[in-house]
Amino acid sequence: MPSVFVYGTLRHAPLLAIVTGELPATTPARLAGHAVVQARGEDYPLLVPRPGAVATGLLVEMSDEGFARADWYETAFGYACRPCELQTDAGARTALVWLPQEAPQADDGPWSLERWQPGWAALSEIAASEAMSFFGRLTPAELGFSFTMMQMRADAHLRSHDKPRPRVTSDMTSDRVELLSSRADHIGYFTTRVDTLRHPTFAGGMSAVLKRETFIAGDAAIVLPYDPVRDRVLLVEQFRMGPYARGSRYPWMLEPVAGRVDPGETPETCARREAVEEAGLDLRDLLHVGDFYPSPGCITEYFHTYVGLCDLPDSIPGTHGVDAEGEDIRTRLLPFEAAMDLIPAGEADNGPLFLLLTWLSRERPRLRGMA
């Protein structure tokens, strides 16, 4: 039965149970000459050598199966097991500990479980539940590649619970759906899920057993930059897999600025960040337009849409994007009327651009009058 020293997020009991698949016995323990610090710019902890410091944590007695699950999970994030000598109230103990394989260059100071839990515990539990469903099916490297998207999906799941009770549509809740089976048929940057279920019907009773496939993605923030003084908008042009895979001869598309909401990030913060990354823009005001599912019959993706007021001088157009994400983005300035002409011409052929231009056509006189 392996004995393991945990010092970070696995001290959170629900997460430890999800990862190990059991409720292991734990004992408070200390590791001399080490400190638990927060990785620079991240939410997770690192255990680093530090003379005179003492790292506190838990000595966990895992089963062989529980250890195999936890080791697979930790290896995905670049950690490796090493032996260590601990102190407990009952005396010295030898145990294993997961340490980063590459020494961190910098950190953001001491890491605290109590500070981490309010913002990250629930998200981490949901993401880990998805991750551990692939134990034995993915390599640690494959899990590491997919885990950020798992966190995005977990964050979107939590955000979906904030929706108020509907006033017009039925108030039937998801706990009335009878889920008979669920499996993920594909996991990569996105995932697809096949559910077998029954749901309540408007006539009363339950539906027949249904098999439904869902494309599962995180939320996205979308913003149309608008200069009310110059009366122009900025659009981005880039290659898009949707039209390409559909068979379009012209898979480059004009769109508003858009991007995935990172784990722990608000949609508003994402919209401002993407404006910088994709267009080099510092938005002055962010006007919320609406939030919606683009295709609720089969996709979980959810859009948070905005119009961003900003300055759009002639010098703005250029090429942008994050190299690590393979982005190749060209920005274009269009007078408002020219942008509206894209709709009848068929060049505003994506929902967010169509919606945001239509919203702007209604609000434009007010925004110009305030400029």
Name residue 4's beta-bridge partners: 60, 96
Name residue 226's beta-bridge partners: 233, 309
pTM of the model: 0.90
Q: Is 278 among the annotated ligand-binding positions?
A: yes
In the chain, the amino acid numbered 244 is Y
Percent of the chain with pLDDT over 90: 84
Sign of the Cα pseudo-torsion (255, 260, 266, 269, in order):
negative
Confidence of residue 141 (pLDDT cuts 50, 70, 90): very high
pLDDT of residue 345: 96
Confidence of residue 102 (pLDDT cuts 50, 70, 90): confident
Intra-chain end-to-end CA distance of the chain, in Å:
69
- Identify whether 130 is a catalytic site residue: no
Q: How many residues does the chain have?
A: 371
Could you please state the CATH topology (level 3) that the domain comprising 3-137 is classified under: Hypothetical upf0131 protein ytfp (3.10.490)
Q: Name the architecture of domain 220-370.
A: Alpha-Beta Complex (3.90)
Cβ atoms 39, 116 nearer than 8 A: no
Tell me the domain boundaries of the chain: 3-137, 142-162+175-216, 220-370
Confidence of residue 101 (pLDDT cuts 50, 70, 90): confident
Percent of the chain with pLDDT over 70: 99
Bigger pLDDT: 321 vs 40: 40
Cβ atoms 219, 274 nearer than 8 A: no
Is a pLDDT exceeding 80 seen at residue 167?
A: yes
Identify the burial level of 77 via C-beta atoms within 10 angstroms of its C-beta, where 0-12 means exposed, 13-18 middle and 19 or more buried. Answer: middle
pLDDT of residue 208: 98
Sign of the Cα pseudo-torsion (142, 146, 150, 151, in order):
positive
Cα separations (Å) of 230 from 97, 248, 318, 339?
A: 60, 34, 18, 13
Q: Which of 22, 65, 74, 325 is an active site residue?
A: 325
Secondary structure of the chain as H, E, C letters: CCEEEECCHHHCHHHHHHHHCCCCEEEEEEEEEEEEEEECCCCCEEEEEEEEEEEEEEEEECCHHHHHHHHHHHHCCCEEEEEEEEEECCEEEEEEEEEECCCCCCEEEECCHHHHHHHHHHHHHHHHHHHHCCECCECHHHHHHHHHHHHHHHHHHHHHCCCCCCCCCCCCCHHHCEEEEEEEEEECCCEEEEEEEECECCCCCECCCEEEEEEECCCEEEEEEEECCCCEEEEEEEECHHHHHHCCCCCEEEECEEEECCCCCCHHHHHHHHHHHHHCCCCCEEEEEEEECCCCCCECCCEEEEEEECCCCCCCCCEECCHHHCCCEEEEEEEHHHHHHHHHHCCCCCHHHHHHHHHHHHHHHHHHHHC
Cβ atoms 339, 242 nearer than 8 A: no
Q: Is 327 among the annotated ligand-binding positions?
A: yes
What is the tens place of the pLDDT at every residue in 292-326? 999 999 999 999 999 999 999 998 888 877 777 77
What is the tens place of the pLDDT at every residue in 215-269? 999 999 999 999 999 999 999 999 999 999 999 999 999 999 999 999 999 999 9
pLDDT of residue 105: 67
Average pLDDT over residues 24-40: 93
Lowest mean pLDDT: which of 80-94, 192-206, 319-333, 351-365?
Answer: 319-333
Confidence of residue 112 (pLDDT cuts 50, 70, 90): very high
